[in-house]
Amino acid sequence: GAVVSQHPSWVICKSGTSVKIECRSLDFQATTMFWYRQFPKQSLMLMATSNEGSKATYEQGVEKDKFLINHASLTLSTLTVTSAHPEDSSFYICSALTPADNSPLHFGNGTRLTVT
């Protein structure tokens, strides 16, 4: 089946630094990838839709200058949390659409970000 790899699985950084999270589709080309954020005991909240070769579409309330998304190739999308603050600490998950079936979406294993 389709595999989505997310890296790193966890990261700890200091306030004010930037962190990059990678999302790769390993055995298929994903023209569309999605980035979600999950707070403890809460739902998965869609942050943005990443389309290869074009600008990401951000959901309302998500700061595009803070959460930079780059989908430079058909197998890689990156989320960069810039000038991280403790309130950015969360679990970030990516998912990708496969060309063959638009659903179900295939999810990465997530990245736990802790900002100290």
Partner 1 sequence: DQQVKQNSPSLSVQEGRISILNCDYTNSMFDYFLWYKKYPAEGPTFLISISSIKDKNEDGRFTVFLNKSAKHLSLHIVPSQPGDSAVYFCAALGNTDKLIFGTGTRLQVFP
Strands (E), 1-116: 4-7, 10-13, 19-25, 32-38, 44-51, 57-58, 67-73, 76-81, 90-96, 106-107, 111-115
To which residue do tokens 């309302």 refer? 60
Instruction: Identify the residue among 37, 79, 106, 115 touching partner 1 (CB under 8 A).
Output: 106
Gap between the Cα atoms of 116 and 107, Å rounded: 27
For residue 28, state whether it binds partner 1 (rule: CB under 8 A).
Answer: no
Tokens standing for residue 63: 């700061």
Instruction: Identify the residue among 47, 93, 113, 115 touching partner 1 (CB under 8 A).
Output: 93
Question: Considering beta carbons, is residue 3 or 72 the nearer one to partner 1?
Answer: 3
Instruction: Identify the residue among 7, 20, 28, 49 touching partner 1 (CB under 8 A).
Output: 49
Point out which residues bind partner 1 (CB under 8 A).
4, 6, 9-10, 32, 34, 41-46, 49, 91, 93, 95, 97, 102-110, 112
